[in-house]
Amino acid sequence: MDARAIIATLRKGGTPDAAALAWFAQGLADGSVSDAQAGAFAMGVCLNGLGDTGRAALTAAMRDSGKVLRWDLDAPVLDKHSTGGVGDCVSLILAPALAACGVYVPMISGRGLGHTGGTLDKLESIPGFRTTLTEDQFRQVVSKVGCAIVSASADIAPADKRLYAIRDVTATVESLDLITASILSKKLAAGLEGLVLDVKCGSGAFMKSQDDARALARALVDTANATGCPTSALITDMSQPLASSLGNALEVIDVMRVLTGAASGRLLDLTVALGGALLEQAGIGDGTKKIAQAIASGAAAEKFGAMVYAMGGPVHFVQDWVRFLPEAPVIREVTATTSGTVTTIDGEALGLTVVALGGGRQVETDVVNPSVGLSDVVSIGDRVTKGHPLVRIHAARESQADEAELAVRAAITLGDGTASPPKLVLEHIT
């Protein structure tokens, strides 16, 4: 095999065969393919595409470039992936709810990206919680508790880690084929027997339009199924934050309120929809009812507490979570300057506000402040009067709260008349 020949095939609009793509992925992983060749490959795929067969072959090749887990358990091994949004903390509820339904969830997750929060960052706001486990530790927690949410080890899809870094500096991130292969190679390396995808669209998502979200969902579902993992997707609305809070500890608060029966709303509804679809896809009937019951009964909260303790967190976290989560020193209410109806919310702007507060990373080496963010965010369709709170800012300093207030006011639009809350689940892709 020759990297130059593979790149030339792409340049001419052809698709390298599965063997060539497997060779190239291994070269990415072991360093025998240079950065220049990797960049040229990414640009070739970005410009000319791979087609359905090539996309599936690249995904499998990147999955197989490192460790692929195998499980010997007494129930299905299932997982969920979200394409990212603001206030999206579904994984923290869904993983233990699925475990409470008797399946296993070895969830490999990521950190914040751009304006969206990261599942690992949220969990690390819990004192002592370790998202980095050895493979043996990971297996033990999954086997004993039923779920574990961890970071990817260096030997999980190493070809993706290398190619992603190169795509980031070569303006080739926005390729449907490369996005699909990147997402799925890491997920499928976990040895899954079923996967549900939450593909978001709207102001707080990477995909702003439903058409773009549908194209990505279709590519992900078709590719995952072609590589042997039964997969479906929900296209869901992200025209406003999913939870009422944005920020790491603040989202964990929202999670705990749902798990302990103190809150409902969009966060609970989407968790139930995704979990139900995944269980039913795996042949487990009444999946939606089972997930809802697991949460309502407290069984999901019990599993969450067991996972937290098994991964280094406090033993009584579920019983006394308020005591353990950090609180920002500056909390400021932003109130409406006029009466009206909430018509639009710029979710991306709110997400970037949290990043500016220190709740996300502007460069990879930034240290995240788990206590900062936004809470009690209004929803589209809410009728507010002058002086009514639109959001609460949680900041480390008054000056940061000042800047955040300006951004929040610009991101939330009030209008006359009424506005209908958007539908949460827009499509189901199978």
Residues with catalytic roles: 79-82, 119, 167, 182, 186-187
Nearest to 350 by CA among 265, 255, 247, 420: 247
Amino acid type, 299: A
Using a 10 angstrom Cβ sphere, with 0-12 exposed, 13-18 middle and 19 or more buried, the burial of residue 14 is: middle
Amino acid type, 390: L
Nearest to 305 by CA among 151, 428, 126, 42: 126
- CA separation for the pair 251, 93 (Å, rounded): 11
Quote the radius of gyration of the chain (alpha carbons, Å): 22
Spell out the residues 6+ positions from residue 21 whose beta carbon is closer than 8 angstroms to its own.
6, 54, 57, 58, 61
Spell out the residues 6+ positions from residue 176 whose beta carbon is closer than 8 angstroms to its own.
49, 55, 215, 216, 219
Amino acid type, 27: G
CB 161 within 8 A of CB 346: no
Strand partners, 394: 331, 373
Task: Give the strand order in the sheet containing 383-384.
Answer: 383-384, 340-345, 412-415
Residue 77 gets which letter from DSSP? B
